Amino acid sequence: MSSKSMERHRKNSPSTIKVGILTLSDSKYQDSLKSINTDVSGDIIEKSLTEKGHLVVRDIIPDEAKDLLKKIHQLIEKEDVDIIISTGGTGIGSRDITIETLQKIFEKELYGFGEIFRHKSYQELGSGAILSRATAGVYKRKLIIALPGSPNAVKTGLEIVINELGHLVKHLNE
């Protein structure tokens, strides 16, 4: 099924966007301080975006709400990103703070992203998909997408959004 207006919007969307990639992980943050690159999920996001011609800025931060908020503000105000994609911190463990932190600042939440993500995850993994709390929303006219830390989950999330990023930015800029 195709929509003429959606196809028109896609044609009039920016082809190159700037994306901030944030990995939330206490252990990967510690590794990054030692110059050890163990951020497989961040690598997948970066490679997928650069292959599409997008610009990326990337960082690893610990699972701390204050660090996440500080980095989001820095990416928006200093780096002027169009979209932020985070990976990690979306589970149900005590250190998983991404979703709660983002939901407090979202001006609008894109429920469809999480619903589609969980549906695709269920098709791939079965009932374990109920553990996913992946979400997306808008803050200061920027899209923030929160993906789990698993490389397979990152691939699933990117399949959903990668071809819509320019279209989403177009609507955010209206």
CATH number of the domain where residue 79 is located:
3.40.980.10
pLDDT over threshold 80, residue 59:
yes
- pTM of the predicted model, to two decimals? 0.93
What 8-state DSSP symbol labels residue 139?
E
Q: Is residue 130 part of a domain?
A: yes
Number of domains in the chain: 1
Identify the pLDDT of residue 35: 55
As beta bridge partners, residue 87 has 23, 147
Ranges 20-24, 29-33, 141-145, 155-159: which has the least confidence:
29-33
Based on C-alpha coordinates, what's the Rg of the chain?
16
Q: Is residue 7 part of a domain?
A: no
- Answer for the pair 46, 58: CB distance below 8 angstroms, yes or no: yes
Identify the pLDDT of residue 38: 82
Confidence of residue 12 (pLDDT cuts 50, 70, 90): confident
pLDDT digits (tens, 9 = 90+) for 92-144: 999 999 999 999 999 999 999 999 999 999 999 999 999 999 999 999 999 99
Q: How far is CA 38 from CA 28, 33, 59, 124, in A?
A: 6, 11, 12, 25
Confidence of residue 171 (pLDDT cuts 50, 70, 90): very high
Give the Cα separation of 10 and 13 in Å (integer). Answer: 5
Q: Is residue 2 part of a domain?
A: no
Give the Cα separation of 109 and 137 in Å (integer). Answer: 4
Q: 114 lies in which domain range?
A: 18-172
Tokens linked to 158: 């990117």
Which amino acid would we find at residue 128? G
Mean pLDDT of 31-38: 68
Of 109, 96, 173, 112, nearest in space to 144 by CA: 109
Q: Is residue 9 part of a domain?
A: no
